[in-house]
A and B are shown apart, each in its own frame.
Chain A
Amino acid sequence: MKATSTKVVASAVTALALVAASCGASDDAADAPAEDAPAEVAAEAPADEPAEPAEEVAEPIKIGIVAPSAENDLAWTQSMVDSVSRVAEGRDVEVAVSGGLFVVQDAAAAIRGYAEDGFDLVIAHGTQFGAPLQEIADDFPEVSFALGTSTDFFGKDNIYAYSVEAGEGGYVNGVMAAQLTQSNVIGVVGPVPAGDAKLYIDGFVAGAEAQNPDVEVNVNYIDSFGDVLLASEAAKAFVESGADVLTGTAQMVVGATGIAAEEGVPWFGTQSNQTDLGTDIVVASQVYHWEVVLNTILDQIAGGKLGGERRDLAQQRWPRDGVQRQLRPRRWY
């Protein structure tokens, strides 16, 4: 029974794209109330192409990405690398990636290196890179930096802070998960309760509970982004305690998806499209389309504005395809 319902949904694998919310240019927090996020959008709206890029510039724009995990981790780092390649489809850019820099000092050296090499935009893709970036940004006033997920650009004119309303796709995933579960127990494997992981998981829990108040969503933050064995054991513990739907976020979830595949338990992904981790079990993935934020940032850089702004990715203002007619107006606009 479980297997068939999984298959039905899996055959309609949906990539939930988080699209532009180029919201407000200042510090004001976009407090996203997950309650009224329109879940029905997910099933009907495929990953959309973002806004058209601005006019071409004469020289290629050099973008450097510094990230904590492997560039094709099917999670955090890959979401940015994929997004930049989508940016490259519409713009003349030259991209360099330094992945695997989970040691902050190494990442700081790479950020500084790109700045010294005359890159136009250096993306520090990890909250933990914020501290060194503050110092580096002062030494290179003509280079633009982007830091995420972060809501703070430290008052610097050459740092863009970017973040993502991961709770929105999390909510949609939660609604679907609550419809799939038969035991009414859902397991969530998270890294630490912070950043986009916490937003995603909070949104997921809210969505599941809104769909079915009887559902029990158990969350296990394993206090690690990298411990695959621990993630795998956490998933095992969930399955043994009766969970029949799983989700999770960050790069160590590959341990948990292994268990999901072994046990035939449906999995909901986030950050990148995780279908490759198990075509039979991955029901839907929320995908971060950072290019929406990046295109705006690149336009602004071309106009001479190097930072001093916060940009958030959210699931709204679906572009020009009529989908927005089905959206209820968002309360916070």
Chain B
Amino acid sequence: MGDFFTVSVLVATLASGIRLATPFLLAGLGETIGQRSGVLNLGVEGVMLLGAFSAYYITLETGSAVYGILGAIVVGLLIGLAYAFITLIMQAQQGISGIGIYLFGLGFTDLLFQKNVGTPKPIRGLGEVNIPLLSDIPKVGEIFFQHSLPVYFAFALVPLVWFMINKTTFGLNIRAVGETPEAADTLGVSVNRTRLATILIGSTMASLAGAALALEVGIFQQNLTSGQGFIAIALVYFGAWRSYGVMLGALLFGIVQATVLQLKTLGIVEGANSSLLAMAPAVLTIVVLAIVSRRVAAPGALTRPFDRAA
């Protein structure tokens, strides 16, 4: 039995929380961009699995995580194209087609893994990159500046996504298309082209989230993501479709998970108590969702396909 409130344990918990938050954050930011343009993609989990497998497999075969990440980007774009075809051109119901993408990713990655790899073979992940100078700051450096590249990338994207949505013409188009696509259309903004772009961005980021996960743990196995993609979607609502909100949600989720892990590791809580604690992040999300949904409205045209003729 150890003590939780010691500096070293708290530092380890926060650092672990940041690592755990990264896949949620990457996938959640991508989904935020998509939803702001009115496209709900419930297939995030499936895209993450596809990204995770491609990054893992390519890294295993080539020995280079860089190729793995590039592969995940290509896969993300391809799935994005498929999803855009289904929802924009065929105008299929978004929720159901997203679930289709999820099931496809789940089954297809398992099949490919079984046929091409079989047994879990470890790969060398990305490893930690210590930011010069900053990582030497006691405690703070350990918490924030001794992580793998995807961690820095995900958090650096937060202000960039905020800037893109709120300060650029493209962002204005996204918001217009997500709120009143008819009005945007009359002003000469191509609704479907904007949505195609956001779907491709969102899908690529989900794929990268999966790649980050696979490279962090250095292994692939069936259903590697185990529900993280769905949590990422919940975090978009949690964060009220704002990049900083999504980041807060991801951090909250990651840090609560890390705290529960530490409490169990140190033997402070055991048995049924630990199972109760394991539910904590999910319960928190539901509570916050109940509060947030009363204050912030979803993008007006979310899940609504746009048909100029209609």
State yes or no: do A and B come from one complex: yes
Q: Which residues of A contact B (CB under 8 A)?
A: 69-74, 78, 99-100, 102, 187, 192-193, 218-224, 226-230, 232-234, 236-238, 240-241, 251-252, 254-255, 257-258, 261-262, 276-278
Separation of A100 and B112 alpha carbons in the complex (Å): 13
Are A228 and B217 touching (Cβ within 8 A)?
yes
Contacts of B262 in A (CB 8 A): 237
Contacts of A232 in B (CB 8 A): 216-217
**B window 183-236: CB within 8 A of A:** 213, 216-219, 221-224, 226, 228
Asked if A233 meets B16 with Cβ closer than 8 Å, knowing A73-B120, A74-B119, the reply is yes
Separation of A90 and B283 alpha carbons in the complex (Å): 53
Asked if A241 meets B216 with Cβ closer than 8 Å, knowing A220-B261, A228-B221, A258-B122, the reply is no
Contacts of A233 in B (CB 8 A): 16, 19-20, 257-258, 261
Given pairs A100-B222, A219-B264, A221-B264, 8 additional interface contacts (CB within 8 A): A73-B119, A100-B114, A102-B222, A218-B266, A233-B19, A234-B261, A254-B219, A258-B125
Contacts of A237 in B (CB 8 A): 12, 16, 258, 261-262, 265
Give the Cβ gap from B139 to chain A, nearest Cβ, in Å: 14
Asked if A193 meets B271 with Cβ closer than 8 Å, knowing A241-B265, A257-B122, the reply is yes
**B window 237-280: CB within 8 A of A:** 257-258, 261-262, 264-267, 270-271, 274-275, 278
Separation of A228 and B226 alpha carbons in the complex (Å): 8
**B window 118-156: CB within 8 A of A:** 118-122, 125
Are A241 and B217 touching (Cβ within 8 A)?
no
- Chain B residues with a Cβ closer than 8 Å to the other chain, count: 41
Select which of B20, B274, B278 is within 8 A of A229 by beta carbon: B20
Asked if A258 meets B265 with Cβ closer than 8 Å, knowing A223-B275, A229-B23, A237-B12, the reply is no
Give the Cβ gap from A50 to chain B, nearest Cβ, in Å: 23
Separation of A70 and B114 alpha carbons in the complex (Å): 7
Asked if A276 meets B274 with Cβ closer than 8 Å, knowing A234-B265, A240-B12, A241-B265, the reply is no
Select which of B2, B114, B120 is within 8 A of A277 by beta carbon: B120
Please tell me if B9 contacts chain A, counting CB pairs below 8 Å.
Answer: yes
Are B221 and A254 touching (Cβ within 8 A)?
yes
Contacts of A227 in B (CB 8 A): 226
Are B113 and A255 touching (Cβ within 8 A)?
no
